[in-house]
Amino acid sequence: MSERIGHFTEASSLSLCEKTQDEKYKDIYWFNTPTCNTQLEKMVRRVFFVSWWVRCLILANNFFPSLKLVPFTNKILKMNDTEGLYFKTKDIKEAYLPFSHNEEVEAKQIVNHLGMRDSDKFVCLIVRDSEYLSTVYSKYDWTYHSYRDSSIDTYKEAVEALANLGYWVFRMGKKVKEPLNINHPRVIDYANHEIRSDLLDIWLPANAYFSISTSTGLDSVPQAFRRPVVYVNAMVNNDFRSSDHCLWASKHLMWKSEGKLLTLKETLHSSFYSSDKYKEAGIKIIDLSSEQIKEIVLEMESRLTGKWRATEKEELGQSKFIKIIRDEKHGFIHPEARISQKYLEYHSSFLSDD
């Protein structure tokens, strides 16, 4: 599934994890062309056999099933790491899609020209809006996905706070609706910058200290490279990235008739993948404020740098959150997959049993 970055990265990366654990089979593939990212295509071809004629074998299988020309499975198309493959293979070099030496050198030279040193830490900001799909796949109506969109302006406070702490911040994207207007030498609106390339689209999130995402396709890259992600304004809670090192904070959902925020259990039972479905259910979607986003992002930074001190009450809340999530049949739970404590403070009834 090479047309979309999320599907392409996760399907190939999880297949690679399986390959390192089981060499009994020889996997062969073809791409749906054109691929969404030429750099990712190169990396996948380095570890898998890929050719156009593989599709012919599958078509032959469909027409002549009795011949059993090649065993075919759609297992690789699973888009969730329910078995914890990323975590189980995190210390195996061969389980990571490989950059070449020249690619590493080229990427570092580009960011060094911006003034960033090799020792500097950087963060990737991935905020979903409607521009990419509406431009690249314009023949489809993608407005049903608008409930997942966020305004880049609400992330400014968080970005400036990170920059003031010494981090570089790269606002990611291939096509975006609005620029990130921040005048700071360590803040790069990469999506609108001349350095943007398919190489850096992958290299930056693969090497970031952590990424900030709204839960969208590109965050599959830091996942595949076992880099932490803080999900802010994420939708939906059923898609909590339980198998990854992450901090999760969803948009608020409110019952319009009561003016009351939904609890976690209610959101899990009212998870829709269409904006109109929320309207029909009488649910209002509320984005987190700029201040809330900043505090949640800084919580992630504090946790990663060892400055965060968890209380007994917090750990009880985390345990309750994971139990509720696990009851919804999530698979593997990463030891560092957490709900944001700041988010729980903003939404005190989120873990309520009522």
Residue 34: band (very low, low, confident or very high) from pLDDT cuts 50, 70, 90: confident
d(CA 96, CA 354) in angstroms, rounded, equals 43
When mean pLDDT is compared across 10-24, 57-71, 208-222, 327-341, the lowest value belongs to 57-71
pLDDT tens digits for range 276-290: 999 999 999 999 999
Mean pLDDT of 65-83: 65
Residue 75: band (very low, low, confident or very high) from pLDDT cuts 50, 70, 90: very low
pLDDT tens digits for range 237-274: 999 999 999 999 999 999 999 999 999 999 999 999 89
What is the distance between the terminal CA atoms of the chain, rounded to a whole angstrom? Answer: 41
Residue 146: band (very low, low, confident or very high) from pLDDT cuts 50, 70, 90: confident
How many helical (H) and strand (E) elements, i.e. helices and strands, does the chain have?
14, 12
When mean pLDDT is compared across 137-151, 176-190, 198-212, the lowest value belongs to 137-151
pLDDT of residue 122: 98
All structural domains of the chain with their residue ranges:
5-85, 101-346
Mean pLDDT of 182-205: 97
Percentage of residues of the chain with pLDDT beyond 90: 75
Mean pLDDT of 132-157: 77
- Is the pLDDT assigned to residue 78 strictly greater than 70? no
d(CA 175, CA 173) in angstroms, rounded, equals 6
Mean pLDDT of 219-226: 97
Q: Identify the CATH homologous superfamily for domain 101-346.
A: Glycogen Phosphorylase B; (3.40.50.2000)
Q: What is the mean pLDDT of the chain?
A: 91
Q: Are strands 260-261 and 252-255 parallel, antiparallel or unpaired?
A: antiparallel
d(CA 147, CA 278) in angstroms, rounded, equals 9
pLDDT of residue 76: 45
Mean pLDDT of 158-184: 95
pLDDT tens digits for range 301-318: 999 999 999 999 999 999
Concatenating the DSSP letter of every residue in 95-117 gives: GSPPPPHHHHHHHHHHHHHTT--
pTM over 0.85, yes/no = yes
Percentage of residues of the chain with pLDDT beyond 70: 91
